[in-house]
Structure 1
Amino acid sequence: MNHRKILKIALIQHRCSNNREENLKSISERIRRAAESGGELVLLQELHNTPYFCQTEETRLFDLAESIPGPTTDHLAGLAAELEVVIVSSLFEKRAAGIYHNTAVVFDSDGRLAGRYRKMHIPDDPGFYEKFYFTPGDLGFTPIDTRVGKLGVLVCWDQWYPEAARLMALAGAELLLYPTAIGWDPGDDADEQLRQRDAWVTVQRGHAVANGLPVAACNRVGHEADPSGQSQGIRFWGNSFVCGPQGELLGEAGEDEAIMLVDIDLGRSESVRRIWPFLRDRRIDNFADLQRRYIDE
C-alpha cells in the first residue's frame, strides 16, 4: 500500500536586529519567497522578532512582550491567508501583568489561529536566563491540527527532553517542530563547539527514531553581543535541519542566513512504525518512576 504524503516545509534562519518592525518585514519577505518556491509549512526560529534578550535580566525588557492575539499575530495571520501557507511562529507572550510565556503560535493556511504551545522546559544557564522572563507552559503537549497535518510544536530547550517528544507522538503528532535559539560561547574551543552542536543534532534525530516521526529544528544565526559586557555574547550556530522518521537527514543549513526547503514524506511514519514498533512494545506498566525527579534507592 502506498502511504506517500509529501509536505514541502520551509525553515527560515536569520539574524535579528534591534528593530522589531524591520525584523518582521524581513521575515515576511522570506515567507513570501518560501511560498513562491512551493513551501506549504513555514517554520520560524525562536523569538524571531528580536535579538535573544535573555542574556541579561532586565525588567524593562518585559516591554518586548505582546498579547496573543496582537500586532504580530494579526500580521502573520494575514500573511498565512494571503499565501495559503501554514506558519509556525515564536513570540514573547504577555498573558497578564507579571505572567509572560515563550509561546509558539500556529496559523493555518486560511489565516486562522490554529493553536499555541507555551514552552514547558525553561532554562537558566549563563547567557540563557529564561526563568527570569518566562512562566513555564501550562497547555501540555498537545498537537495542533492544521491543513498540512497534526503538528507537534515544541520550543528550543524542550528539544533535549525525550518525554516531550514522546508525549506529542502519543497524542497523534505527525511531525515534531522546534523553533530554536541556541549557540556557542565564543570563548569555547572548536572541539567543544563541535561536541555541543553534534549533541544538539543527535538528540533530536534520536527523537525522530524513537517515535517514528520526522523532525524539523529551525535555529537563528549570527553573533549577538551581551548587553552587560560581562561575556562575549552568543554566536548562534544555525544548522537548521530536517530529518525523517529513521533519523535520516533530509536537509541541513549552514551557519549563514538561509531559506531551506525540504520535502517530507509524512507517509513513511506508517511504514517505519511497522518494522520498528517502539510504541507497541513500551512497558508502560513499569514506567511510574518517570514521575520522580531522581531515584535515590
Structure 2
Amino acid sequence: MSRKITVAAAQIGAINRDAPKSETVPRLLALLREAGQKNVKLVVFPEVALTTFFPRHLFTSQEELDKFFEHGEDITQSPDVKPLFDEARSLNIDIVLGYAERTANGTGYNTCVYYSASEGRVLSKYRKIHLPGTKEPFEDPKAINQLEKRYFTPGDLGFKAFRAPGLIPDAAKKATAQSGESTVGKGDPILGMMICNDRRWPEAWRMYSLQGAEILMFGYNTGANMSHLWGSKPMTPEQAKVEALFHSRLVQQANSYMNACFSISSARCGLDDGKYDLIAGSSIVDPEGHVVAEAKTSEDELVVAEIDLGDCRQGKEKTFDFARHRRIETYGLIDKQTGVIEPELL
C-alpha cells in the first residue's frame, strides 16, 4: 500500500552565544516557508534549535543560564517562538522543534515537541534520556566541554510512539475499520522522537520499533572535535570531524535498517563564535538504510525528500518480523544491567 509524504530536515547553521532568539527564529521561519513552497508536510528542526549549544559553556549566573531555556508549560505560547507555530498552522506543516525546557519546579530538560498543524496543538513531547558529557568542566582550559549532565535531567517521558493525523490521505481510522480487517501499515503514520545522543543507543530505536514506528525524528548538536570526551586516540581536527560525521551517518543508517523505518535527522551545525565547530550531515534515510537526501552545506538548509511509508513493510513483515524471530527469553541483561561485567579471568 502506497502511503507517500514529503518530509524535510531543517538544518540550522552557526548561532553565536550572544545571538537572541529574536534573531534565530526568523531563520527557522524562512526554512519553514521554503518547505511550504515545496509541499512539505513534516519538518524536523534541530536539538536546542533556538540558541547556541550552551552546554559547552560554564555558567555561574543562573539568570544568564535561564535565558537559554523556555519557561512555561506550553511552548506554542512562548513569545519568542509563537510565530513559528502560528506559521506552521497557517502553512499546514507539522513540525518537530528542539529546545531547552525549564519546568515550573526548576528542572531542566533537553526537550523536543511534535506540533500537529491539523490539530493546532502539540501531540507529543520527548525529553532526552541519554545525556552525554560531564557534570564538571575539564581541567584543561583548551578542552571543549559538554555539560549536559550539569544543566539537564535525564528525560522522564520514555519512548512513546504516536500517530499524527493529516499527513496521509485516506489513512485507515478506527471509526471506519471493518470488523476483522487488518489495518497494520494502513493507518496514520506512527512516529517517534529522539534527541542527539539517543540515536547512538539501539535500545531507543528498538523501543519505538516495537510500537510499529515508521518514522523516527531527531535533531543534534554534535561537536566536530570533542577529543577530551572521545579518548586518547590521536587525530587532527580534520580527521576528528570526518570521524564524527561517519559515526553520525552510521548509527542512523544502521538503525533505520535494523528497525525497518525511515529516519529524519536535523543538525545544528557550523562554526559558533568562530571556534566551536559542529558537524552538518542532516539526512533522510529509508528502511533499507540508504540515504535518500542529505545536506550539502554546513549552513541553514532544507533537506527534502518524498518518502513512501509502504516501504517499511518489507523489513517489518519479512526481514525483521519481530513476532516470528525475536527471542526475548535470551535478552535478560538488556534491562537488568547498565555497566559491563566481564567473564572471570581464565
Moved over 6 A (4+): none
Q: C-alpha deviations, 1:68-91, integer Å up to 9, x for none?
A: 314155333322211111100001
- Number of residue pairs matched by the alignment: 289
The question of whether the paired residues in 2 share the 8 Å contact of 1:57 and 1:132 is answered with no
- 1:296 CA drift (Å): 3.6
C-alpha distance in structure 1 between counterparts of 2:58 and 2:190, whole Å: 36
- Taking structure 2 as the reference length, the TM-score comes to 0.79
What is the rounded CA distance, in whole Å, between the counterparts of 1:47 and 1:6 in structure 2?
29
* SS class of match (2:242): helix
* Residue equivalent to 2:303: 260
Instruction: Report the RMSD for the aligned CA atoms in angstroms.
Output: 1.9
Tell me the SS of whatever aligns to 2:43. Answer: strand
Larger radius of gyration: 2
- Contact residue 55 and residue 233 of structure 1 kept, 8 A: no
Structure ranking higher in strand proportion: 1
Deviates more, 1:185-194 or 1:40-49: 185-194
Aligned to 2:54: 53
Within a 5 Å distance, the mapping from 1:182-201 to structure 2 comes to 182-185=222-225, 188-201=236-249
Shift of 1:28: 1.1
What do residues 33-68 of structure 1 show as CA deviations (whole Å, max 9, x unaligned)? 111211100010111111111111213313321123
**Cα distance between partner residues in 2 of 1:61 and 1:188:** 32
Q: Percent identity?
A: 26
Point out where structure 1 has 5 or more consecutive residues left out of the alignment.
Answer: 226-231
Q: C-alpha distance in 1, partners of 2:262/2:248?
A: 16
Amino acid at match of 1:69: D
Q: Name the amino acid aligned to 1:93.
A: E
C-alpha distance after superposition, 1:82-128 (max 9, x if no partner):
11111000011111343011111111022211111011111115422
Q: How does 1:231-242 map to 2 (within 5 A)?
A: 233-242=275-284
CA distance in 2, matches of 1:192, 1:91: 27
Aligned counterpart for 1:270 among listed residues 288, 291, 313: 313
CA gap of 1:282–1:233, structure 2 versus 1, over 3 A, is farther
How far, CA to CA, are the matches of 1:193 and 1:256 in structure 2?
A: 12
Q: Which moved more, 1:141-150 or 1:209-218?
A: 141-150
In structure 2, what is the equivalent of residue 290 of structure 1?
334
| Structure 2 Cα separation of the partners of residues 146 and 75 of structure 1 | 22
Equivalent position of 2:39 in the other structure: 38
2:6 aligned residue: 8
* 1:236 partner amino acid: L
User: For structure 2, which runs of at least 5 residues remain unmatched after alignment?
Assistant: 135-143, 168-188, 227-234
Distance 1:221 1:260 in 2: 14
